[in-house]
């Protein structure tokens, strides 16, 4: 991996990560330049995605018990990882497949980059929420819950604008494609569940058949 020792690569990564601040505050031209002017990078998007996972794990484990109640014996970081990565994967695949049929201009990597950059506000706000939960009382919790809702809303708006700019859609078409994408995600989950259910039933059938044969002939 030569890029690990390539100073130019690290400088470019730093610039593309810093550019996320412009995307968050100026999303329309920010997302346009992100892909069309090559001001974003997959490496930066990957960092933001995994930073989002890390901050979510820290939020669950370090936030005051007044705001997050969790039994640490049942806590599983892998579940948190999948809770973030799986929706991103489903969104990227479903949106790419759908917008390909709707004359969308964005490639799969563009969609993923847009989602990754859209997560930046939640990373900062959730970090603030972790610290804030240690110094405010339960009666002052309205600030905490406001930040929680604001983080989700900001990220949602950024994703919507990101899809609009990279696919070169109108707002109406963006909302329609996003709703259809959510439906597509649901269909994908349903197909996966049915598929794995059939695989599980098939394996269980052959195991029971194997046991029956052993019981009869041995």
Residue of 217 and 149 predicted with greater confidence = 149
Burial class (CB in 10 A: 0-12, 13-18, 19+), 178: buried
One DSSP character per residue, 189-201 reads: HHHHHHHHHHHHH
Q: Is the pLDDT score of 110 beyond 90?
A: yes
Pick the closest to residue 110 from 36, 48, 208 (CA basis): 36
The answer to whether the CB of 162 falls within 8 A of the CB of 31 is yes
Residues counted in the chain = 218
Residue pLDDT, tens place only, 64-98: 777 777 776 777 888 888 889 999 999 999 999 99
Structure token digits, residue 140? 């002052």
Instruction: Locate all alpha helices (DSSP H) within 39-170, ordered by sequence.
Output: 42-62, 77-101, 108-118, 120-133, 141-167
Residue pLDDT, tens place only, 25-56: 999 999 999 888 888 899 999 999 999 999 99
Residue pLDDT, tens place only, 153-178: 999 999 999 999 999 999 999 999 99
Task: Give the pLDDT confidence score for residue 4 in this predicted structure.
Answer: 64
Phi, psi at residue 2, to the nearest 5°? -65, -30
């Amino acid at each position: 991996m030569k890029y690990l020792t390539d100073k130019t690569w690290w400088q470019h990564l730093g610039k593309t990560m810093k550019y996320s601040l412009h995307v968050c505050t100026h999303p329309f031209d920010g997302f346009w330049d992100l892909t069309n002017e090559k001001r974003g990078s997959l490496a930066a998007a990957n960092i933001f995605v995994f930073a989002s996972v890390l901050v979510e794990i820290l939020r669950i484990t370090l936030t005051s018990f007044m705001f997050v109640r969790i039994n640490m014996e049942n806590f599983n970081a892998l579940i948190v990882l999948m809770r973030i990565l799986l929706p991103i994967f489903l969104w990227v695949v479903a949106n790419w497949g759908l917008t390909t049929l709707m004359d969308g201009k964005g490639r799969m990597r563009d969609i993923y980059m847009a989602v990754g950059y859209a997560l930046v506000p939640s990373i900062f706000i959730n970090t603030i929420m972790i610290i804030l939960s240690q110094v405010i009382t339960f009666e002052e919790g309205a600030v905490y819950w406001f930040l929680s809702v604001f983080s989700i809303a900001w990220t949602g708006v950024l994703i919507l604008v990101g899809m609009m700019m990279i696919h070169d859609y109108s707002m109406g078409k963006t909302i329609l494609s996003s709703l259809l994408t959510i439906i597509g995600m649901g269909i994908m989950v349903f197909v996966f569940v049915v598929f794995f259910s059939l695989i599980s039933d098939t394996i269980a059938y052959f195991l029971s058949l194997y046991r029956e044969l052993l019981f009869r002939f041995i």
